[in-house]
């Protein structure tokens, strides 16, 4: 019989030989997925054995990883903002960079009681559900054009115990969205169509095309959102929008042209401007 620790190390070594970028991390995550062990259990109990059945599952996971399937796709789940999200082929695999958007959204919500949040292109629901998890007084609506993606978001809302405060709607951006929101968040598709073929195969072959393709220059969704957002935001409300690398100036210009009074960017941990924060002017006070 093999120990968990030894099997994980050997798997990490084989993934490294195959040239995968994060072999040790992948190996530990796959081992945890097979055995159900937490990271703490993996550290505390290095001598724990794995069964023959677990070894067989691990071997099948290894073959899939070597064939280019991302770990989150193999396990069917991904950690984001410290929470577990189910992922299926219908949704984008949530990216750590998008946690910058969650942090920016939470900053803006400080001081707003019982805020209403709209998440456009919700996918797995990771952005909206992370915000609702942090703000127990908030409610939100997640919109996606894909019914299959919405089924995943709904399941994640159930698993995280956020159902009463999270609702979902199948729509083309804001079409059919009723009411006004304090904050709109969105991570739209922003890859230029011609660049998709050159993406890493983890992304190109496994994330849904609709989650990636931003049209000829990558800006189609931003154009639509800039025009669609002012009518669904309260006066003084904000939009918090994820940006692709190098898109900040062009997207800020689109939002300013659509009537947003202020724009600024927030950088991710690598220093890349990753999020645009665009604010509507507050309501004018009536004189007298």
Ligand X SMILES: C[S@@+](CC[C@H](N)C(=O)[O-])C[C@H]1O[C@@H](n2cnc3c(N)ncnc32)[C@H](O)[C@@H]1O
For ligand X, the binding residues in 248-277 under the rule CB under 6 A are: none
Q: Which helix (H) or strand (E) holds 210?
A: helix 209-212
Distance of CA 113 to CAs 116, 142, 183, Å?
A: 9, 20, 12
Distance of closest approach, residue 177 Cβ to ligand X, in angstroms: 10
218 lines the binding site for ligand X (CB under 6 A): no
Q: Are 239 and 184 in contact (CB under 8 A)?
A: yes
Q: Which member of 140, 189, 218, 237 binds ligand X (CB under 6 A)?
A: 189
Residue 122, C-beta contacts closer than 8 angstroms, at least 6 positions apart: 128, 142, 143, 144, 149, 150, 153, 168
**DSSP letter, residue 197:** G
Q: Which of residues 38 and 170 has its CB atom nearest to ligand X in the complex? A: 170
Q: Which helix (H) or strand (E) holds 216?
A: none
- Residue 60 burial (CB count, 10 A): 11
Q: Which of residues 35 and 187 has its CB atom nearest to ligand X in the complex? A: 187
Q: Which of residues 176 and 259 has its CB atom nearest to ligand X in the complex? A: 176
How many chain residues touch ligand X (CB under 6 A)? 22
Q: Which member of 172, 194, 209, 259 binds ligand X (CB under 6 A)?
A: 172
Q: Which of residues 37 and 128 has its CB atom nearest to ligand X in the complex? A: 128
For ligand X, the binding residues in 144-163 under the rule CB under 6 A are: 144-146, 149
Q: Which helix (H) or strand (E) holds 95?
A: none
98 lines the binding site for ligand X (CB under 6 A): yes
Q: Which member of 12, 121, 237, 273 binds ligand X (CB under 6 A)?
A: 121
210 lines the binding site for ligand X (CB under 6 A): yes
Terminal-to-terminal C-alpha distance of the chain: 84
279 lines the binding site for ligand X (CB under 6 A): no
226 lines the binding site for ligand X (CB under 6 A): no
Q: How far apart are CA 113 and CA 268, in angstroms?
A: 27
Interface with ligand X (CB under 6 A) = 91-92, 94, 98, 121-124, 126-127, 143-146, 149, 172-173, 187-189, 210-211
């Amino acid at each position: 019989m093999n120990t968990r620790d030894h099997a994980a190390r050997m798997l990490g070594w084989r993934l490294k030989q195959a040239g995968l970028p994060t072999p040790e991390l992948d190996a530990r995550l796959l081992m945890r997925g097979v055995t159900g062990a937490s990271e703490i259990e993996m550290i505390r109990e290095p001598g724990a054995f794995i069964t023959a059945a677990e070894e067989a599952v691990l071997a099948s996971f290894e073959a899939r990883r070597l064939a280019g399937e991302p770990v989150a796709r193999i396990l069917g789940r991904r950690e984001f903002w410290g929470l577990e999200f189910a992922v299926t082929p219908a949704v984008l695999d949530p990216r750590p960079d998008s946690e910058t958007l969650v942090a920016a959204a939470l900053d803006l919500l400080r001081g707003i009681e019982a805020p209403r949040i709209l998440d456009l292109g919700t996918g797995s629901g990771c952005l909206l559900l992370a915000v609702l998890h942090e703000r127990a007084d908030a409610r939100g609506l997640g919109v996606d054009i894909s019914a299959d993606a919405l089924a995943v978001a709904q399941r994640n809302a159930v698993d995280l115990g956020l159902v009463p405060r999270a609702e979902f709607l199948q729509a083309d951006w804001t079409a059919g969205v009723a009411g006004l929101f304090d904050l709109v968040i969105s991570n739209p598709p922003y890859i230029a169509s011609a660049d998709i073929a050159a993406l890493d195969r983890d992304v190109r072959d496994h994330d849904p095309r609709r989650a990636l393709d931003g049209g000829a220059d990558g800006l189609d969704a931003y154009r639509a959102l800039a025009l669609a957002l002012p009518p669904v935001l309260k006066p003084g409300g904000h939009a918090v929008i994820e940006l692709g690398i190098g898109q900040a100036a062009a997207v800020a210009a689109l939002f300013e042209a659509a009537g947003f009074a202020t724009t600024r960017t927030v950088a991710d941990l690598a220093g890349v401007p990753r999020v645009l924060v665009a604010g509507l002017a507050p309501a004018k006070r009536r004189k007298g």
